[in-house]
Structure 1
């Protein structure tokens, strides 16, 4: 019962709103009608009293003609010239103040109004005069009241209906875009959200942001997929090396051969451990407390020999680091960043040079390759994704742009102020 009072759907809210405003309209109409009706009743009673008092001169002249204690001056007005002639119901209320209108139960059927005064008759004698009239003798009339009530009731129904219709039209105009958006959210998973151009500005802004969030969600989903592929690739390679070296160890008993395979296993395991640590830092954001910790970086921790081993013929690797350089990047993270940036530079550089420069606020890798020709995410693959994620975790900004002449430069800039 009264389920719509508790529902939260647009239909329930509309029903509840229409009910509330209908109640307000009904109450407002009653509050307007009640004082108006009360005013009519009070004004009518005053008119009856004034009508009764107007018979004073007539009653005086009439007494001179009939010389009687009672006279009916009109179908509703009676005149009494002696207290003894008054009806018992009036005698019970005596005495009456002279020249004052007295009302007795003026709104009941047995109520009456009395006007007491006096005059000097033809013999010079002071004669009392009591004019009486029934309280409801000349009321507005039942027919008149019925017409008034019907008109008022019809006006009330019209106002409520008009208000309800107007409110419903206004509510539908406001809520139809919301219902449309709700329907699109439930069913149109691949399409962009849209509302009518006549919708209010806030709804159009909301629709715009929903589309932006949808695009961002799709972009993040693609990045997460690329991140998973990158993690899989980075872990599969050392695992394959470890398995291969372990299998080869069982083929020969040569100590030199065995030592070589163990070395391969240790290097691959070390690289895999570093990769896992970096990936865990990104996923779990365990590096939050380390982002402000500075450490001195030396040239010895940069694997320059590994980078040079991958260079194509005709390509030279240059490296420069400012003295006493301090960074907030742990060694595995710095190694992962340089590995991805240098590998991308090697991939697109067939001749010329690749330059690595590191100082307290900047890490840059510049090459003389083919530069950027399209989307950096598709050109440079998964490596840039891991670089972006690491930069976000440690408070660095990342930028990749083409050089004026040839090649491109990948630049990492420190955005925070480590303590």
Structure 2
């Protein structure tokens, strides 16, 4: 039963089948109980009748009658066991007192039998009564007929109740099914408004209103996001372009070594900012359509470029960065996104490493960055460099990757991104 009610669409049918089964069981129980009750009541009635006839027989035997006497058309009384019919006489020999119905084969003749005693002139005598109880009891056809009447009435009532329950279940469950269908058919349409019958339960009306409110809020958030993607590109790119152009003009002039290094730092920071803007805007534009992003190969040249763009601080610290490429993965991620993810990990590793080297390994399924820092427990900031690991975690979650940051057994930290090619392919 539990497997059949996992879906509300089949719940009404399951309830109807369950109710029919219960009705059949109740009908069988009612038939059995009614038949047993009739049989029990007939036996009790026969026993009470036998006790009443006993008193009459005793009075007549005391009055002087002997042998076999007829109490009425159903009952015979005996004060001499030798006069009792042989089948019943053999049955009563071992009893001093007996009251019950006896059925004799082969014709299934039923008799209510009573054996007791009475006193006359200080002497005790046996008394036996045989009552043709089967003449007044229901026969098998009558029991079946009366039981069927009871079962029929119970079945009609159960059908009425079952119909009411079925209609109530439909009224309670169908609105939920309707909402589920609307959610399924309009999952990508933020403009769709959910509707529900006015006859649905109050809780479903509230649920529908809240869903419409949440969808309205979501639609407003999407519009704000689209507006940001539309206007932020110009507003952010214009000053960055100005800074980039001014940096190039400064680089043409003859400068001291210190000034030249500062110009390079400004140019490098500007490039990183442009990359970050491209990646964030790309997320705003494409995160809702990840399946539409083309699959592309992340080659060694792209990875070397990312390392070169984000290793200026490593040169200042005289850190070595080694790159090992076992294979080139295919991912649904634009170049700015990869630059942001790997660049943040590289800068985070550089910031955490006072001396030594940083190892970068890439294969078909993952990229791993190992530093020679002091480990996770001694990092000054768990968020890493700038937006750092928060951006990496967010981007990994959006693209279905798995990001982990753990301590190395002999070195610093291991930052690993599992690309999960099954998801991307």
Provide TM-score, normalisation by structure 2.
0.51
Distance 2:63 2:217 in 1: 108
Flag the 1:245–1:157 CA change in 2: closer, same or farther, 3 A.
Answer: same
Distance 1:135 1:38 in 2: 17
Give the superposition deviation at 1:158.
Answer: 0.8
Is 1:213 the counterpart of 2:210? The answer is no
Q: Unpaired segments of 5 or more residues in structure 2?
A: 284-336, 345-383, 388-425
Whether the 8 Å CA contact 2:43–2:101 is kept in 1: the answer is: no
Flag the 1:268–1:220 CA change in 2: closer, same or farther, 3 A.
Answer: farther
Distance 2:124 2:272 in 1: 130
Question: Where does residue 78 of structure 2 map in the other structure?
Answer: 80
RMSD across aligned C-alpha pairs, in angstroms? 5.0
- Secondary structure of the residue aligned to 2:88 is helix
Flag the 1:105–1:236 CA change in 2: closer, same or farther, 3 A.
Answer: farther
The total of aligned residue pairs comes to 282
Give the superposition deviation at 1:276.
Answer: 4.9
Flag the 1:331–1:158 CA change in 2: closer, same or farther, 3 A.
Answer: closer
Q: Unpaired segments of 5 or more residues in structure 1?
A: 288-329, 334-419
Give the superposition deviation at 1:131.
Answer: 0.8
- Secondary structure of the residue aligned to 2:225 is helix
Question: Where does residue 91 of structure 1 map in the other structure?
Answer: 89
Alpha-carbon displacement from aligned partner over 1:208-240 (angstroms, at most 9, x marks no partner): 221122122222323333343456433476468
Whether the 8 Å CA contact 1:277–1:332 is kept in 2: the answer is: no
Question: Where does residue 41 of structure 1 map in the other structure?
Answer: 39
Alpha-carbon displacement from aligned partner over 1:378-403 (angstroms, at most 9, x marks no partner): xxxxxxxxxxxxxxxxxxxxxxxxxx
Distance 2:30 2:144 in 1: 18
Distance 1:255 1:130 in 2: 139
Question: Where does residue 15 of structure 1 map in the other structure?
Answer: 13
Question: Where does residue 51 of structure 1 map in the other structure?
Answer: 49
Alpha-carbon displacement from aligned partner over 1:91-110 (angstroms, at most 9, x marks no partner): 33324335x5344469x945
Which stretch has the larger CA shift, 233-242 or 194-203?
233-242
Question: Where does residue 273 of structure 1 map in the other structure?
Answer: 272
- Secondary structure of the residue aligned to 2:17 is helix
Alpha-carbon displacement from aligned partner over 1:339-385 (angstroms, at most 9, x marks no partner): xxxxxxxxxxxxxxxxxxxxxxxxxxxxxxxxxxxxxxxxxxxxxxx
Distance 1:156 1:208 in 2: 43
Alpha-carbon displacement from aligned partner over 1:160-187 (angstroms, at most 9, x marks no partner): 2111110111112112321222232234
Flag the 1:160–1:171 CA change in 2: closer, same or farther, 3 A.
Answer: same
Matches within 5 A, 1:6-405: 6=4, 8-28=6-26, 30-31=28-29, 34-56=32-54, 59=57, 69-71=67-69, 73-93=71-91, 94-97=93-96, 101-104=99-102, 109-118=108-117, 128-134=126-132, 136-188=134-186, 189=189, 190-229=191-230, 232-233=233-234, 234-235=236-237, 238=240, 242=244, 256=253, 267=266, 269-274=268-273, 276=275
Distance 2:252 2:182 in 1: 69
Distance 1:331 1:52 in 2: 105
Whether the 8 Å CA contact 1:235–1:272 is kept in 2: the answer is: no
Question: Where does residue 373 of structure 2 map in the other structure?
Answer: none
Whether the 8 Å CA contact 2:74–2:133 is kept in 1: the answer is: no
Provide TM-score, normalisation by structure 1.
0.52
Flag the 1:112–1:14 CA change in 2: closer, same or farther, 3 A.
Answer: same
